[in-house]
Amino acid sequence: MLSKKQAKAFFLGGTILFSMIFLGLSFESVTISMPEKTNADQITDAVVRGKVIWESNNCMGCHTILGEGAYYAPELTRVYSRKGESYIKTVLMAEQPWAPRGRKMVAYNLSEEDANDVVAFFQWIDGMDLNGFPPEPDPSLK
């Protein structure tokens, strides 16, 4: 059994040790890993404009990207590699709303330039190292 003095020293020592580990890992994540894994050096003006379009149209109100957003519509983190540029542009530039699998997609009727910017944003997201997120769907569940 620990005395009060030993328990206090054990608690303070553990707190200091794990605080230092936490700070070290946070520093490593922010300064070394994060820029490398998110390919931050590849952010272009088109990627920034695409993100602004994504946010201004409240796409996260229905879709999920990088694990954030709503779950009404499909997850779009890897949509660029799953569907390709032409599919994405067709959906974004559609003049009429459409309902794939019974879920109605708003017709944004974006210009080709705006659609290209959103595609650039999706392409940048697709190039991130996300440690296997999102996982591949289980083919036996289809």
Q: Tell me the pLDDT tens digit for each residue of 22-72.
A: 999 999 888 877 777 778 888 999 999 999 999 999 999 999 999 899 988
Question: 64-102: per-residue pLDDT in tens?
Answer: 999 899 988 888 999 999 999 999 999 999 988 887 777
* Whole-angstrom distance, CA of residue 121 vs CA of residue 46: 7
